[in-house]
Amino acid sequence: MNWCPASQSAVSDVEVENQEVNGHLWHFRYPLTDGSGHLEVATTRPETMLGDTAVAVNPEDDRYKSLIGKTITLPLVGREIPIVADDYVDLEFGTGCVKITPAHDPNDFEMGKRHDLEFINVMNKDGSMNVNAGDFEGLDRFEARKAVVKALEEAGNLVKIEDYAHSVPFSDRGKVPVEPLLSTQWFVKMTPLAEKALKKLDENNDPNLVPERWRKVYRNWLANLRDWCISRQLWWGHQIPAWYAISETGGQITDSTPFVIAKDDEEALAKAKAKFGDDVKLERDPDVLDTWFSSGLWPFSTMGWPEETADLARYYPTSTLVTGFDIIFFWVARMTMMAEHLTGEMPFKDVFIHGLVLDENGKKMSKSKGNGIDPLVLIEKYGTDATRYAMIREVAGAGQDIRLAYDRKTDESQTVESSRNFTNKLWNASRYVMMNLDSKTPAQWGEPGTAVDGNGTNGGSSLPELELVDRWILSRFHRTVKENTENIESYGLGEAAKSLYEFTWNDFCDWYIELSKVRMFADDCPEKTQAQQILATVLEGIHKLLHPFMPHITEELWHGLTQTEAEAAYLATQSYPVVDESRIDLDLETDFQLVIDTIRTVRNMRAEAGIKPGIKVPVVLQTASDREANILNEGKVYIQNLAKAETVTIADADAESPENSVVGVTGTVQVTIPLEGLIDLDELKAKINKNLEKIEKEINGLSGRLGNPGFVNKAPAHVIDGARAALAEAEAQREILQEKLAGI
RNA sequence: GGGCGAUUAGCUCAGUGGUAGAGCUCCUGCCUUACAAGCAGGCUGUCACUGGUUCAAGUCCAGUAUCGCCCA
């Protein structure tokens, strides 16, 4: 088994980490006992030669065939040991001769059993050499290595020393090389447990690993398990429930002392008396269980198992285990095997394997490398919610690692800073909304489009008609609720966080709040009520949606918004928003996009023409489409306010457009800003030409596709229709721009 | 040696067959009565490489390269 000399305990296979080490390969000469020559062996661990009990060669090796059965006299020790033949020996590697130390190497152990060799343990449990090491007794194993090499050199047995990079097993816990030792320990026979877990996995995909690729990792491990050493020579842990009948072996625990397994002292004594008579003397095994053995019981032992408690009935099995991939073997697989064996059920339905947070260089954080990023530093600087939100938002797909931007000198992280800015945005947006709700709560305002209870501004009578912009934000909100639910259910937490960020900032703050100001700041505007209802209801929805991602700030803001005392209720206990499909209207969203695009086009044109932000300009919108004209008419007042227009004129496409003006196009709407004598005609031409070039390229691409029989015959109808519509719009845009260009 | 993942804008990353996106950075202009931790506008791409499948490939297939992780 694997022994950790630092913690002086057995460790299991998964607690052993192989590390590449630049070591040496020492070549020694072992003389034949009959004096007829010698064999040369190579080793990375010279100190173990003191425990050698054979030299092995490959049975097919012509160089050594004749020596098989002869003996070697082991240098320094003088022991006569046989030369054996074993297939394990690689003819190509080193000299083709291998020294065998059955008590200190797992491969040699197997060979020792095959050839019935002597097992000589030359080390103590602390890694020092024991009495079997003769003159080297008491030396630490690494000191003994040097001393043995020196002694062999002085005796003329050292041939050469080569540099040699090889893999060395280190103890996870003790951080020192593991020593393979002979020792009596408790093991769990894994095959029967693993088989049952594999069956559940293969037949029912139980548990369901997310992302799916970890399923194979989990499966392969289960399929190739070796028995699990579970006893630890530590004082912390569950004590092993085995009682030795020491009266049977002279008052000592030996390898042959019989034992009983029991739940407690009383039961142990009863069992022992029945077996060994009333005079039996018991001593409990001082060892404890591997911590992962105990952890493996966690899903049900925390619920009171083995008692049939109410908690166990209610909460077991659980729905989801959230954990990192580095713990699939240590914990997840142990839980599934133990749970299956002891409760007959898998302990959880889903296992969500998330990525790890890497440092600023994309390296895994580790204590030994000292490249950790202290979350408390980030929390101190940016806030708890910002730090938490940043971590979730950076989760890509399911299970990708997160590379965290971080400046070690200033403790600044752009990733977390942008989340902090988002929390700030949420705070300020909430402030704006609360300032404009006339001290009423969302509940008092009621559902958008319904009468306001009590003494609302509409007198509690008529049902206000929702405006285009109101229906737009409600559609966007409910689409966000829907997407968010889908994202969370499929463990797309990063996508969920990002979509809430985009809705809150881009749709609600940048557009709806700005658009609502038209009504909020107008004198005597009867339609103000709907805007207040929408602001109240959508903001509360945002608080709820964001609550799992940033619990503290949303809790605080929600109490302010709803005027709920902390003693009365918490946001944390409110129900999560549920999608109202009837509010979702994709056509309406497309319509409203024209308003947004028109405002953007005007702003763009103003910026390009260098019109000062304070100056209001007349805007002329021309379109041949009735649909577009209707939308523009409905959104006219918004375009006027948000584009800083003096007037907005909506006209037919063939109406005369003013001379000396900047022109832009969106959809098939021609946007014109007349600017008497303020325009650089060359610049204007260049801009239109640039625009035309882009549209020309688009037209070429689209008509190329539509002219291709393969595309028209084989592509699905909606794709072809989409391409035709896009081509028609692009051609209309081209016409508008060409006319304008000709008019300059 | 075996397996898994990644490679897309200066950076961090989305994008599951229908003409490339976000955030940050950068540039320009703004103290507009929620927010300058902000607002408006703008620039930026041989989608690592080579073949193949397809009317159509960042996306599917095969191979190559580089980086990272796991196992032996």
**3-state secondary structure labels for all residues of A411-439:** CECHHHHHHHHHHHHHHHHHHHHHHCCCC
Average pLDDT over residues A425-437: 95
Q: Residue A617 has what pLDDT?
A: 87
Task: Check residue A224 and report its DSSP letter.
Answer: T
pLDDT per residue over A242-287, tens digit each?
999 999 999 999 989 999 999 999 999 999 999 999 999 999 999 9
Q: Which nucleotide C1' is nearest A605 CA?
A: B41
Average pLDDT over residues A213-237: 89
| pLDDT value at A161 more than 50 | yes
Average pLDDT over residues A219-238: 90
| pLDDT value at A460 more than 50 | no
Of A32-41, A103-112, A352-361, A593-602, minimum mean pLDDT range: A352-361
| pLDDT value at A662 more than 80 | no
Q: Which amino acid is at A226?
A: R
Distance A217 CA to B51 C1' (A): 32
Q: How far, in Å, CA of A136 to CA of A48, rounded?
A: 11
Q: Residue A25 has what pLDDT?
A: 87
Of A313-317, A645-649, A656-660, minimum mean pLDDT range: A656-660
Average pLDDT over residues A23-34: 91
Distance A166 CA to B1 C1' (A): 14
Please state, for a pLDDT cut of 70, what percent of chain A lies above it: 96
Of A38-47, A115-124, A248-257, A671-680, minimum mean pLDDT range: A671-680
| pLDDT value at A355 more than 90 | no
CB-based contact A260:A243 (threshold 8 Å): yes
Of A3-17, A18-32, A679-693, minimum mean pLDDT range: A679-693
DSSP secondary structure, A300-319, as one string: HHTTTTTS--HHHHHH-SEE
Q: Residue A681 has what pLDDT?
A: 67
Distance A690 CA to B42 C1' (A): 14
Distance A305 CA to B70 C1' (A): 34
Of A684, A700, A672, nearest to A742 by C-alpha is A684
Using pLDDT thresholds of 50, 70 and 90, give the confidence band for residue A676. low
| pLDDT value at A678 more than 60 | no
Of A54-68, A259-273, A620-634, A642-656, minimum mean pLDDT range: A642-656
Please state, for a pLDDT cut of 90, what percent of chain A lies above it: 49
Distance A698 CA to B50 C1' (A): 29
Q: Which of residues 573-602 of A touch strand B (CB under 7 A)?
A: 600
Q: Which of residues 544-563 of A touch strand B (CB under 7 A)?
A: none
Q: Which of residues 195-224 of A touch strand B (CB under 7 A)?
A: 213, 216-217
Q: Establish whether the CB of A722 is closer than 7 Å to any nucleic acid atom in strand B.
A: yes
Is residue A41 classed as helix, strand or coil in its secondary structure? strand
Cβ neighbours of residue A290 closer than 8 Å, sequence gap 6 or more: A12, A228, A229, A230, A231, A232, A237
Q: Establish whether the CB of A168 is closer than 7 Å to any nucleic acid atom in strand B.
A: no
Q: Which nucleotide C1' is nearest A599 CA?
A: B40
Q: Residue A730 has what pLDDT?
A: 84
Using pLDDT thresholds of 50, 70 and 90, give the confidence band for residue A735. confident
List bases, strand B, within 7 Å of protein CB. 3-6, 11-16, 18-19, 22-25, 28-30, 32-35, 37-42, 54-56, 67-72
A391 versus A288: which is more confidently predicted? A288
Calculate Rg over the CA atoms of chain A: 39
Of A51-55, A324-328, A420-424, A595-599, minimum mean pLDDT range: A324-328
Q: Which amino acid is at A361?
A: N
Tell me the range of A306-310, A368-372, A697-701 where mean pLDDT is highest: A306-310
Q: Residue A736 has what pLDDT?
A: 80
Distance A216 CA to B71 C1' (A): 12
| pLDDT value at A454 more than 70 | no
ipTM given for this complex: 0.90
Using pLDDT thresholds of 50, 70 and 90, give the confidence band for residue A679. low
| pLDDT value at A395 more than 90 | no
Burial label, A674 (beta-carbon count in 10 A; 0-12, 13-18, 19+): middle
The helix (run of H) or strand (run of E) holding residue A162 is strand A158-171
| pLDDT value at A436 more than 60 | yes
Tell me the range of A432-441, A613-622, A641-650, A726-735 where mean pLDDT is highest: A432-441
Characterize the bridge pairing of strands A288-289 and A231-232. Answer: antiparallel
| pLDDT value at A520 more than 80 | yes
Q: Residue A456 has what pLDDT?
A: 47
Distance A494 CA to B7 C1' (A): 21
Q: Which of residues 490-509 of A touch strand B (CB under 7 A)?
A: 495, 498, 502, 505-506, 509
Of A134-143, A293-302, A711-720, A732-741, minimum mean pLDDT range: A732-741
Q: Quote the tokens at residue A455.
A: 């003494």
| pLDDT value at A508 more than 50 | yes
CB-based contact A83:A67 (threshold 8 Å): yes
Q: Residue A266 has what pLDDT?
A: 95
Average pLDDT over residues A699-724: 84
Q: Which amino acid is at A709?
A: P
Cβ neighbours of residue A1 closer than 8 Å, sequence gap 6 or more: A10, A180, A181, A182, A183, A185, A229
Burial label, A610 (beta-carbon count in 10 A; 0-12, 13-18, 19+): exposed
Of A254-268, A451-465, A540-554, minimum mean pLDDT range: A451-465
Q: Establish whether the CB of A703 is closer than 7 Å to any nucleic acid atom in strand B.
A: no
Q: How far, in Å, CA of A336 to CA of A677, rounded?
A: 79
CB-based contact A337:A329 (threshold 8 Å): no
Average pLDDT over residues A225-242: 92
pLDDT mean across residues, chain A = 88
Q: Establish whether the CB of A711 is closer than 7 Å to any nucleic acid atom in strand B.
A: yes
Residue with the two structure tokens 């103890």: A171
Q: Which amino acid is at A411?
A: D
Q: Establish whether the CB of A716 is closer than 7 Å to any nucleic acid atom in strand B.
A: yes
pTM across the whole model: 0.82
- Residue A526: count other Cβ atoms within 10 Å of its Cβ: 12
Of A66-75, A297-306, A665-674, minimum mean pLDDT range: A665-674
Q: Establish whether the CB of A118 is closer than 7 Å to any nucleic acid atom in strand B.
A: no
pLDDT per residue over A297-328, tens digit each?
999 999 999 999 999 999 999 999 988 888 88
Using pLDDT thresholds of 50, 70 and 90, give the confidence band for residue A470. very high
Q: Residue A399 has what pLDDT?
A: 64
Distance A210 CA to B4 C1' (A): 14
Using pLDDT thresholds of 50, 70 and 90, give the confidence band for residue A147. very high
The backbone torsions φ and ψ at residue A626, rounded to the nearest 5 degrees and listed phi first, read: -65, -40
Q: Residue A553 has what pLDDT?
A: 95
**Nearest residue to B25 via alpha carbon and C1':** A414
Distance A423 CA to B16 C1' (A): 33
| pLDDT value at A79 more than 60 | yes
**Nearest residue to B37 via alpha carbon and C1':** A421
Q: Residue A392 has what pLDDT?
A: 86
Q: Residue A398 has what pLDDT?
A: 57
Is residue A218 classed as helix, strand or coil in its secondary structure? helix
Residue A705 CA: distances (Å) to CA of A60, A82, A699:
69, 81, 10
Distance A714 CA to B61 C1' (A): 21
Task: Check residue A328 and report its DSSP letter.
Answer: I
